[in-house]
Structure 1
Amino acid sequence: MRVGAHVSMSSSKVSSDPEKPPHDNIANAVFRQVAFGGNCGQIFTHSPQVWQNPDISDEEAALFKEQTDSELSGPWVIHSSYLVNLCTPKDGLRQKSVDSMQEEVDAAAQLDIEYVNVHLGAHTGAGVEGGLENAVSALSELDIPESVTVLIESDAGSGTKLGGDFEHLAYVLEHSDQNLDICLDTAHAFAAGYDLSTEEGVYETIEELDEIVGLEHLKCVHLNDSKHACGTNKDEHALIGEGLIGEDGMRAFINHPDLADVPLVLETPTEDGKGFEWNINRVKELRN
């Protein structure tokens, strides 16, 4: 079972092991993942709230790869900046988004990371079809290294954001000349109207995903419970089994036979003294 968390590369709150990097370093993510009990995971290469280059030295990359090979099963996923908007009709934002994504896929190749995860973004008035066409066009400008695959993440679908409907994901994969796959976020899918709170709902949702997109394209799951009801389009994550998807839905999802080999990455909150370690252990407890 491959399960882990979205972890920081910050030097704060990292083990006092004398061999650990003494400052913010991409390799800190490996130490932190191991401490939480994860064997795969996700990172930001920089603050997701600003336009910034990853700026990873060859020495840092070598240490990250060495520690990953010795400590984890993998894979790692890079999550792109929150500022990236592939669907935008605005030329300036589009160019910044393309440039940022190019930096991320290049960083992924440098780190031997297989996946870069990105939200489609919001069409902000261009319309659904226009927004999807904008995303396809923006992605076509990327020079994606052969070892890297961009994952389009499902969205909660609030406002003009796209990716809430499985059809949006399918459209981009079908019309893009890039080799793309997807990441399913359980909290987002639930908020977008796919009921994952029961075993029946989980099986219906996975069947629909297979029919519309194809499960062969599902390379990662962001496993999160939801603080808001199904179909509300509200994106707020909850502890595993303690949100409105609940224990029954989480158990059914984790044990779905078609998902057995898909890496599970947690983006759960830290609440009531329960953080990533508690949530990872909870996932393992729910696995039959």
Structure 2
Amino acid sequence: MKVGAHVSISGSRVSSDEETPPYSDIRNAVHRQLAFGGNCGQVFTTSPQVWAQPEIGEDAAEGFQEATDEKLEGPWVIHSAYLVNLCTPKEDLRRKSKESMQAELDAAERLDIPYVNVHLGAHTGAGVEGGLDNAAGVIDDLDVPEDVTILIESDAGSGTKLGGEFEHLAGIIDRTETDIGICIDTAHTLVAGNDLTTPEAVDETIGRFDDEVGLEYLEYLHLNDSKHDVGTHKDEHAHIGEGYIGEDGMKAIVNHPDLRALPFALETPTEDGRGFAWNIQKVKELREE
């Protein structure tokens, strides 16, 4: 089973005996993933809240690759900055989004990471069709390395944000000339209006995704429970099995024949004395051999 967490690359230590550099370094991600019990996962290469370029030295890149090959199953995925908005009609934001995405794609190639994950963003008045056209334009302007794939993440769907409906995900695939994939976030999918609370509901939702988008495009899952119910469009993650998806829904997801071979990256909270280690272990307990 490929399961891990979205881990920090900072030098702060998970445990007193963890041998990580005392500063931000991509190699820290491997040490931290191991400490949580994961074998794949997700990272930010820089702060997601600002426009910043990844700063990854040659030694750090080589060390990350070597440690990943030796100690993890993989694959990693890079999550793009939160500021990126592919759907925007604003030229300045479009330019910054493109530059940020290109930097992440180049970092992925350097680190031998196969995926860069991004939200479509908000159309802010351009409309659904206009927003999807804008997003496709940005994607097709990028120089995507041969061994890197852009993943469009499903969204909670609040306001003018796109990606909450399967139709939006199909729409961007149809519009772009670039080979892209999809990352489904289970919490986002639930609050966007798709039931995942029972085995029957999971089957139905996955069936609709296959009909509208195509399971062949699904490459990664963000495995998160939700603090809010179906159709609320509120994005707040919960511990695995303790939110509105619940244990029955989560068990159905991680064991579903169309999903179980995919990598799962957790973005669950650290609260109530529990964090990634507890949630990864919970997922492993839900998995059936």
TM-score range, shorter chain: over 0.9
Q: What's the counterpart of residue 128 of structure 1?
A: 128
On the 8 A contact 2:150/2:180 being kept in 1, the answer is yes
Q: TM-score, normalization: structure 2?
A: 0.98
Q: What's the counterpart of residue 182 of structure 1?
A: 182
Could you say what secondary structure the match of 1:42 adopts?
Answer: strand
Are residues 1:41 and 2:27 paired? no
Q: What's the counterpart of residue 169 of structure 1?
A: 169
Are residues 1:87 and 2:87 paired? yes
Q: What's the counterpart of residue 262 of structure 1?
A: 262
CA distance in 2, matches of 1:201, 1:13: 40
Could you say what secondary structure the match of 1:201 adopts?
Answer: helix
CA distance in 2, matches of 1:274, 1:245: 18
1:84-127 CA-partner distances (Å, limit 9, x unpaired) = 00000000000000000000000000000000000000000000
Q: What's the counterpart of residue 21 of structure 2?
A: 21
CA distance in 2, matches of 1:177, 1:18: 44
CA distance in 2, matches of 1:17, 1:236: 32
On the 8 A contact 1:15/1:31 being kept in 2, the answer is no
On the 8 A contact 2:18/2:31 being kept in 1, the answer is no
CA distance in 2, matches of 1:136, 1:23: 37
CA distance in 2, matches of 1:23, 1:50: 19
Q: Percent identity?
A: 66
Q: What's the counterpart of residue 102 of structure 2?
A: 102
How far is 1:15 from its partner?
A: 4.5
CA distance in 2, matches of 1:239, 1:19: 28
Q: What's the counterpart of residue 208 of structure 1?
A: 208
- State the superposition RMSD in angstroms: 1.0
Q: What's the counterpart of residue 282 of structure 1?
A: 282
Once the two structures are superposed, the pairs formed by residues 194-233 of structure 1 within 5 Å of their partners are 194-233=194-233
Q: What's the counterpart of residue 9 of structure 2?
A: 9
1:214-233 CA-partner distances (Å, limit 9, x unpaired) = 11111100000000110011
Q: What's the counterpart of residue 252 of structure 2?
A: 252
Could you say what secondary structure the match of 2:132 adopts?
Answer: helix
Counterpart AA for 1:5? A
Unaligned residue ranges in structure 2 (runs of 5+) = none
How far is 1:55 from its partner?
A: 1.2
Are residues 1:148 and 2:148 paired? yes
CA distance in 2, matches of 1:272, 1:14: 17
How far is 1:24 from its partner?
A: 1.6
Counterpart AA for 1:144? V
CA distance in 2, matches of 1:57, 1:166: 39
Report the number of matched residues: 288
CA distance in 1, matches of 2:89, 2:14: 42
Could you say what secondary structure the match of 2:177 adopts?
Answer: coil
CA distance in 2, matches of 1:252, 1:20: 36
Unaligned residue ranges in structure 1 (runs of 5+) = none
CA distance in 1, matches of 2:137, 2:17: 47
1:25-61 CA-partner distances (Å, limit 9, x unpaired) = 1000000000000000000000000000001111110
Q: Displaced runs of 4+ in structure 1, greater than 6 A?
A: none
CA distance in 2, matches of 1:94, 1:18: 40
How far is 1:17 from its partner?
A: 5.0
Q: What's the counterpart of residue 159 of structure 2?
A: 159
